[in-house]
């Protein structure tokens, strides 16, 4: 699949750095884009709401055509009371890529298309993927088992092959990708881009507590627990961070999905519950973002060489 013009030729390695709650802020996004990967952040990370416009102005001033484009993540669920306000700012400042989550809306897609932006929608199964494209999304992010944050349960092999049976547009794959070899594997199975989050938490520019970063360095896949307790949507979290709050990570209650919460006052209770994917066994140190991307590119190029041989 040929990538949209906004991405073609502007990436040093085919990666989108995923937008992460609290962690992804302008410092990290700028470093990601300058290193040659798409940097992304959730609009809800900018608090209070007026801060979102300041962040967009800062990114516009800091980044040039020589850098990779940036993306903004919009939660398109009815519980997001800021959606219309944040969407209007995305249009005003012509955010190049918008990542939509937890609902697909034709009007949101049309607003982004009005100035030439593109929309990538994250999905956990083929049914949601079809709905997203029907409503006008340009591309998909397949969130497979093992991804950090709001993850699905399907194997990446199953999810990608089902989507590729009918969709030949831009497709990113998310789920435990933390090496350049895994990026090459994602492309080999049919994805255009790898969608990586957890590895970028353990960078110097990430807005994460030192203990959070070190927990990722020290952790392995077995340290991840899958639960919907904290937002109402199932996701993966670091087991030691849950235990540190006094909860038993092996005996968590199930939340009411109808009471989803993605950053409001109630979510403050979970700010020390740290999201993370299963790929962290590959993360060995906290490093500058540029060094992480350089490692991923070396590993990616080496993997392609091995496959060619």
Residue 299 sits in the same domain as residue 203: yes
Residue 270 sits at φ, ψ, to 5 deg, of -110, 15
Q: Quick check: is 279 in a domain?
A: no
150: CATH: 3.20.20.70
Write down the number of H helices and E strands in the chain: 11, 10
Residue 243 sits in the same domain as residue 106: no
SS3 93: coil
Supply the pLDDT for residue 259: 56
Distance CA 239, CA 222 (A): 9
Residue 112 sits in the same domain as residue 225: no
DSSP conformational letter for 293: H
Supply the pLDDT for residue 267: 44
DSSP conformational letter for 38: B
Residue 85 sits in the same domain as residue 225: no
Supply the pLDDT for residue 266: 44
Supply the pLDDT for residue 261: 55
Residue 173 sits in the same domain as residue 204: yes
Q: Quick check: is 192 in a domain?
A: yes
Which residue range is the domain that position 100 belongs to?
A: 15-208+288-308
Q: Quick check: is 198 in a domain?
A: yes
Residue 104 sits in the same domain as residue 242: no
Supply the pLDDT for residue 265: 45
Supply the pLDDT for residue 4: 85
- Binned average pLDDT, 10 residues per bin, the chain of 309 residues: 81 97 96 98 93 98 96 93 96 98 95 98 97 98 93 95 97 97 97 97 97 97 92 89 91 75 49 91 98 98 95
**CB-neighbour burial class of residue 267 (10 A; exposed 0-12, middle 13-18, buried 19+):** middle
Supply the pLDDT for residue 260: 55
């Amino acid at each position: 699949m040929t990538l949209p013009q906004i991405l073609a030729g502007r990436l040093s390695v085919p990666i989108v750095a995923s937008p992460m709650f609290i962690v992804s802020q302008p410092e990290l996004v700028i470093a990601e884009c300058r290193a040659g990967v798409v940097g992304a952040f959730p609009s809800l990370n900018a608090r209070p709401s007026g801060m979102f416009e300041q962040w967009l102005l800062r990114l516009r001033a800091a980044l040039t055509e020589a850098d990779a484009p940036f993306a903004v993540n919009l939660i398109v669920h009815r519980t997001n009371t800021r959606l219309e306000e944040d969407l209007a700012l995305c249009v005003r400042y012509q955010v190049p890529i918008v990542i939509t989550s937890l609902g697909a809306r034709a009007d949101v897609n049309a607003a982004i298309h009005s100035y030439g932006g593109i929309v990538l929608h994250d999905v956990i199964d083929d049914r949601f993927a079809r709905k997203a494209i029907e409503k006008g999304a340009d591309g998909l992010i397949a969130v497979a088992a093992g991804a950090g944050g709001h993850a699905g349960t399907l194997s990446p092999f199953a999810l990608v092959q089902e989507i590729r049976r009918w969709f030949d547009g831009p497709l990113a794959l998310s789920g435990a990708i933390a090496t350049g070899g895994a990026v090459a594997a994602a492309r080999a199975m049919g994805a255009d881009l790898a969608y990586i989050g957890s590895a970028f938490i353990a960078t110097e520019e990430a807005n994460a507590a030192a203990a959070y970063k070190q927990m990722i360095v020290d952790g392995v896949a077995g340290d991840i627990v899958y639960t919907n307790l904290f937002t109402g949507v199932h996701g993966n979290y670091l087991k030691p961070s849950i235990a540190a709050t006094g909860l038993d990570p092996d005996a968590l209650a199930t939340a009411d999905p109808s009471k989803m919460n993605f950053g409001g006052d109630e979510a403050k209770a979970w700010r020390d519950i740290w999201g993370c994917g299963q790929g962290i066994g590959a993360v060995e140190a906290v490093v500058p973002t540029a060094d992480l991307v350089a490692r991923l590119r070396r590993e990616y190029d080496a993997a392609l060489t091995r496959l060619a041989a």
